[in-house]
Every structure is written in structure tokens, then in C-alpha cells.
Amino acid sequence: KRLVVLVSGSGTNLQALLDAIAALGAEAYGAEIVAVGADREGIEGLARAERAGVPTFVRKVKDYGTREEWDAALAEAVAAYEPDLVVSAGFMKIVGKEFLARFGGRFVNTHPALLPSFPGAHGVRDALAYGAKVTGCTVHFVDDGVDTGPIIAQGVVEIRDEDDESALHERIKEVERRLLVEVVGRLARNGYRIEGRKVVIQ
Ligand code: GRF
């Protein structure tokens, strides 16, 4: 299967996918990364793709007149690589109608909290501020809400008294990287159906 991965930051989730595919071979893993896209330049995520010899593209919101035009341009750039699955791995933008019309049902996101708790851009900080005792990560399909799509898998992380946002986020990301690699591989190898809110991996 063909994967396009979207990033906005350090790209350690992308790296985990690249490493798993390099270690197992694309055939055994079930997928290869055919391109990495971003909404900004100069990020480590793009450098990781370049080091791995994977083509990259950047579509910045500010280069387009409207958010809709940006969304259509992003969808077009992704579509050029004919992906079976698109993975948002720390991609910090909400996509729009056009993108979802083309990739809905095959657009996977990873979120650093146990959805439906703590959606949005600050899932780690919000769980900590709330005083939750456990949090974690959620791999889910993207729908037209913010972190509301059908859940594929979750991993649990305990919150410690001494945690700050960055220490907690690091422990979540360790679980998140393993979960994302496992889930994307299973989706790619086995195929899946989405039945309402339920994701059935065949
Ligand atoms: C992940 O925790 C992701 O869920 C969140 O941002 C982080 C991205 O990390 N939204 P990286 O860029 O993959 O290192």
C-alpha cells in the first residue's frame, strides 16, 4: 500500500514508520511511504523524509487566498502520489471539505490523549491541568470534527505527580509511535471497514 504522511514538527512518529518499513521491508510491513507533506518549511519532519530519500512537499496556508484554496491545494498535492492511506503524524492543521471528500475513510490521525477526552491542539496540557490520572494516545480516522472520528486504537499512559507537559508528552510519544506503527501496518496488510463509529480490521 502507498502512504503519504503529513507532518508539522519533529517527525518522530514519521521516523518510527520509516524505521519499521526499513527494518521489515515494505512488502512485509504492508506499506511504503511515497511522500511526506508539511504545512511549513524548515522542520525536522521534512529533514527526516529527505534523509530517507522520500519526496516531500509543502503547502502553506499563507500562500493561498482562502483556507479552502489551501485545502484544495493540499488535497491535490497528496492525490498526486495516489496514496491508499494518508497519515497525519503531528500535522497541526485541520483539513477542510475538499480534503475529506477525497481522503475521508483513509485519513488516519494520532492524538496525544484518550479521546473523546482532551481533543484539540493541547491534549497533553489539558489532561494534566484537569488532574487526570491516566491519559495516552488515540489513533483514529479523521472526520469533519476536531479529533472526533472513529477510533482505531488507544494506548494508556499514567500521569505522575511530578509530570510537566513535556515529560508527560515524551512518555505518551513512546507509546504513540509503537501504536501508530502497529495500527498503520495492520490497516495496510489486512484491510478494514468503518461501520458507523466502529473500525473493523479484517
Ligand atoms: C504527537 O504527540 C502528536 O500526536 C501530536 O504532536 C506530536 C507529534 O510528534 N499532535 P512528532 O512530530 O511525530 O515527533
SS3 151: strand
Which atom of ligand 1 lies closest to the CA of 12? 14
For residue 155, the cross-strand partners are: 137
- Regions in the chain scoring below 70 on pLDDT: none
pLDDT score for 190: 98
Closest CA to 48 of 2, 95, 7, 92: 7
Check pocket membership of 11 for ligand 1, CB cut-off 6 A. Answer: yes
Distance 129 CA to ligand 1 centre (A): 19
* pLDDT tens figures, 78-118: 999 999 999 999 999 999 999 999 999 999 999 999 999 99
Phi-psi region of 56 (alpha: psi -120 to 50; beta: other; left: phi over 0): beta
Check pocket membership of 9 for ligand 1, CB cut-off 6 A. Answer: yes
pLDDT score for 7: 98
Clarify whether 140 is annotated catalytic: no
pLDDT score for 81: 98
Distances (CA, A) of 61 to 56, 58, 97, 160: 17, 10, 15, 38
pLDDT score for 88: 98
d(CA 43, CA 30): 27
Q: Is 190 annotated as a binding residue?
A: no
Assign a CATH topology to domain 2-201. Answer: Rossmann fold (3.40.50)
The residues spanned by each domain of the chain are: 2-201
Indicate the DSSP class of residue 105.
T
d(CA 125, CA 121): 9
Distance 176 CA to ligand 1 centre (A): 8
